[in-house]
Amino acid sequence: MAVTLYGTPLSPYFCRVWFAGLAKGLDLELVIGPPDVASDPNRARSPTGKIPFIEDGDLLLYESEVIVEYLEDKYPEPSLRPTDAAARARSRLVSRLVDLYLLAPVHALVPQIRTTPRDAAVVAHHLDAIKAGLARIDDTVEPGPWCLGAAPTLADCALATALWYLPNILRHFVDDDLRDGYARLTPYWDFVQGAPVFAEAFVEMAKTRDAFRRDLAEKYGAQA
Ligand SMILES: N[C@@H](CCC(=O)N[C@@H](CS)C(=O)NCC(=O)O)C(=O)O
């Protein structure tokens, strides 16, 4: 029986699990909810009220990083874990940096999107944190061409999806692409957005994003 994954391609956490399934060649059954997560009725089944979560028989599991580790344990081959302990720790470190030092400050900006007037100090604080997070990740990865070498790891599932997601929020605050200008991260982003294994997923993610932006434009006009 297939593992069922709930969420939306607009969520970087959902996409992390989706990408892990793709990189492992797993046939995950996707249950796609509305891009506006607040209106997703499936959230009621998740203990945290958040997506993503998976169902695998009787097991309901949530938290994206825990889910991808579960998929690794259940389906060890092909492995998305580096073989030696130090490299494996670095892969986990990249995922942790993405969660705590990149996506956390990105999401902290969300309440400011439609606040008028915005709190300039709060916005500046979170933008600085995002830049610091990107710099830390840039120091940590070693693309070759995947973010930690010749083969994809769980770090790629976290990082590629977070990098894709950034402009969805940051376009409200900065004109520049904050992914530009890094010695390792920028060429990595160039590589991974063209990686054949994720190509169809990136197309679906862009379609979902564009449809959502059209909805927002109807609702909020120029401020969408
Ligand atoms: N740490 C969680 C974060 C999940 C998360 O924040 N999901 C968002 C969508 S991107 C959500 O469901 N938000 C709804 C809410 O917080 O009410 C994970 O890694 O799965």
**pLDDT 10s digits, 96-126:** 999 999 999 999 999 999 999 999 999 999 9
Is the CATH number of domain 85-193 3.20.20.70? no
Using CA positions, which residue lies closest to atom 13 of ligand 1?
50
The residue whose CB lies within 8 Å of the most ligand 1 atoms, and thus the one to mutate among 14, 51, 67, 68, is: 51
CA of 57 to the centre of ligand 1 (A): 23
Residue ranges around ligand 1 (CB below 6 Å): 11, 13, 37, 49-52, 63-65
Residue with tokens 């009787």: 58
* Cα separation, 189 vs 156, whole angstroms: 10
pLDDT at 223 over 90: no
Q: Which two tokens stand for residue 167?
A: 């402009």
The residue whose CB lies within 8 Å of the most ligand 1 atoms, and thus the one to mutate among 13, 39, 40, 69, is: 13
What is each CA distance from 67 to 46, 56, 118, 156, in whole angstroms? 13, 11, 36, 15
**All structural domains of the chain with their residue ranges:** 4-74, 85-193
Peptide bond into 152 cis (omega under 30): no
* Cα separation, 151 vs 125, whole angstroms: 35
Using CA positions, which residue lies closest to atom 18 of ligand 1?
63
- Minimum-distance ligand 1 atom for the alpha carbon of 63: 20
Is the CATH number of domain 4-74 3.40.30.10? yes
* pLDDT at residue 124 in the model: 98
Residue 54 β-bridge partners = 5, 61
User: 4-74 and 85-193 share one CATH topology?
Assistant: no
* pLDDT at residue 197 in the model: 98
* pLDDT at residue 222 in the model: 64
